[in-house]
Amino acid sequence: MSDPTPKRTRAQEEAAEWLARLGNHSISTKTVREFRDWRDDPANDAAYEEAEAFWEASGEHVADPEITRMTQEALDRGKRRSGWRAWLRGPRLAGAITLASIAAVGGGYLAVQQFTPTYGTQDIEQKVVRLTDGSRVHLNVDSQVKVAFRDGERRLTLTRGEAFFDVAHDARRPFIVVVDGIQVRALGTKFDVRRRDGGVQVTLLQGSVRVSPGQAQGAPVVLQPNQQALLTRGAAIRTAAVDATRTTSWTTGRLVFRDTPLAAAVAEVNRYSAQKVELTAPNLGAQPVSGFFDVGDAESFARGVAGFHDLSLTRAPNGTWRLAPAPTSPGA
């Protein structure tokens, strides 16, 4: 029987490298897909969970020296890679709250407390930010969040776009996300907040959150897992049951649709890709779409939809994929 140790050690090294790579710098949708594929291996998934647990425990001066060694080696390898060099040195490093920010001091560990209070992404860019309390913020495309931690409170303001929050539990300092006066309050939970035209959408994956209406009307609402709150100015909070895993699938590099109108699916796909998809006829927008697609891969989406709905697919000179009704055969 083969010895599983080499694979396990390799998985731990790669996990440390992934944790450092994802922490507090811009990542492409392609990188998110690569990370998802890597974690499909059970050994890799277990190693990543272990590496994350180490990072969270570091603030309590508890760590595995072997993981520390592999983490540092991963970062050292990263410094030699041109693709990482830009964020591993200079002023960007000063703001990085990742495994790279944990330095051995005597027999314990010290988490660097410097960080940039505002984080943002551009059009087709995502970013994972690790905060000083151990919480993680995954910014979706074209998004921005401002961070303000004080004694007794952790406050973040989502100024545009969408973000997924994986909140470290701290009963003494509630975690509050503010969007247009609306407050989402959590202690330890996982939830998504998205600014939409004319309103705000809050989706709870794990734990519980209290949503206060702000400019909306009515009393605060406490969400349970797989519930979503929709808030619009001047209207009462609306809640609905949803598949929160599907709603937040973008954090794993996938978009999942279930009987979604084609127009809505196209709009979502276009958020993540420089190559756009266009419907040439308004009546196409109501057709339902089901399935999962890689973020950033507009071509596969367009080809899949065209094949399933028997549509014509052409590519414009600017790279846009155009979906149109299939031409009718003569005499049909």
Q: According to the model, what pLDDT value does residue 163 have?
A: 98
Q: Name which of 59, 75, 106 is nearest 13 in CA terms.
A: 75
Q: According to the model, what pLDDT value does residue 99 have?
A: 37
Q: According to the model, what pLDDT value does residue 124 have?
A: 86
What are the helix (H) ranges across 80-166? 82-85, 90-94
Q: What percent of the chain has pLDDT over 90?
A: 50
More confident of the two residues 139 and 332: 139
Assigned domain for 330 exists: no
Measured torsion, CA atoms of residues 166, 118, 115, 20, in degrees rounded to the nearest 10: 50
Look at 49-63, 90-104, 120-134 and tell me which has the smallest mean pLDDT. Answer: 90-104
SS3 content of the chain, % helix, strand, coil (to 5): 35, 35, 30
Q: Give the tens place of pLDDT for each residue, 236-252.
A: 899 999 999 999 999 99
Look at 59-73, 148-162, 186-200 and tell me which has the smallest mean pLDDT. Answer: 59-73
- 96 and 161 assigned to the same domain: no
- 46 and 142 assigned to the same domain: no
More confident of the two residues 204 and 76: 204
More confident of the two residues 141 and 88: 141
- 155 and 234 assigned to the same domain: yes
Q: Which residue has the tokens 């990085």?
A: 96
pLDDT beyond 90 at 112: no
Instruction: Give buried/exposed letters for 265-298 (b at 16+ CB in 10 A, else e).
Output: bbebbbbbbebbbebeeeebeebebeeebbbbbb
More confident of the two residues 98 and 235: 235
CA–CA gap between residue 11 and residue 30 (Å, rounded):
20
Specify the CATH number for the domain of residue 284: 3.55.50.30
Contact of 214 with 182, CB cutoff 8 Å: yes
Average pLDDT over residues 105-116: 34
Contact of 98 with 116, CB cutoff 8 Å: no
- 123 and 215 assigned to the same domain: yes
Q: According to the model, what pLDDT value does residue 328 have?
A: 73
Assigned domain for 271 exists: yes
Contact of 63 with 54, CB cutoff 8 Å: yes
Q: Name which of 310, 305, 315 is nearest 275 in CA terms.
A: 315
Average pLDDT over residues 128-141: 92
Q: Give the tens place of pLDDT for each residue, 266-288.
A: 999 999 999 999 999 989 999 99
- 241 and 277 assigned to the same domain: no
Q: Name which of 81, 66, 75, 84 is nearest 12 in CA terms.
A: 66
CA–CA gap between residue 7 and residue 133 (Å, rounded):
32
Contact of 121 with 26, CB cutoff 8 Å: yes
For residue 265, what are the contacts with CB-CB under 8 A and spacing of at least 6? Answer: 255, 257, 289, 301, 305
Q: Domain limits at 71?
A: 1-115
Average pLDDT over residues 14-32: 67
pLDDT beyond 90 at 226: yes
| Beta-bridge partners for 26 | 127
In this prediction, residue 330 has a pLDDT band, given cuts at 50, 70 and 90, of: low
Look at 55-64, 142-151, 187-196, 253-262 and tell me which has the smallest mean pLDDT. Answer: 55-64
Assigned domain for 331 exists: no
Average pLDDT over residues 135-144: 95
- 240 and 307 assigned to the same domain: no
Contact of 326 with 280, CB cutoff 8 Å: no
Show which of 74, 100, 115 is a domain's final residue.
115
**Residue 224, token pair as written in the block:** 């349970």
| Length of the chain counted residue by residue | 332
CA–CA gap between residue 260 and residue 248 (Å, rounded):
15
- 290 and 271 assigned to the same domain: yes
Contact of 208 with 223, CB cutoff 8 Å: yes
- 162 and 230 assigned to the same domain: yes
- 259 and 212 assigned to the same domain: no
pLDDT beyond 90 at 1: no
Assigned domain for 332 exists: no
Q: According to the model, what pLDDT value does residue 56 have?
A: 52
Contact of 156 with 145, CB cutoff 8 Å: yes
Assigned domain for 24 exists: yes
Specify the CATH number for the domain of residue 181: 2.60.120.1440
Assigned domain for 164 exists: yes
Average pLDDT over residues 208-235: 88
Which amino acid does the sequence have at 266?
V
Provide the number of structural domains found in the chain: 3
Q: According to the model, what pLDDT value does residue 12 have?
A: 77
Q: Give the tens place of pLDDT for each residue, 37-82.
A: 888 888 888 888 777 666 555 443 334 445 545 555 554 554 444 3
Q: According to the model, what pLDDT value does residue 255 have?
A: 95
- 232 and 269 assigned to the same domain: no
- 91 and 105 assigned to the same domain: yes
Instruction: Give buried/exposed letters for 100-130 (b at 16+ CB in 10 A, else e).
Output: bbbeeeeeebebbeebeeebbbeebbbbbbb
Assigned domain for 302 exists: yes
- 242 and 192 assigned to the same domain: yes
CA–CA gap between residue 86 and residue 91 (Å, rounded):
10
Q: What percent of the chain has pLDDT over 70?
A: 73
Q: According to the model, what pLDDT value does residue 214 have?
A: 76
Q: Parallel, antiparallel, or unpaired: how do β-strands 311-315 and 227-232 relate?
A: unpaired
Mean pLDDT of the chain: 78
Q: According to the model, what pLDDT value does residue 48 have?
A: 81
Contact of 242 with 262, CB cutoff 8 Å: no
Show which of 249, 272, 296 is a domain's final residue.
249
Show which of 77, 93, 115 is a domain's final residue.
115
**Residue 284, token pair as written in the block:** 């196409």
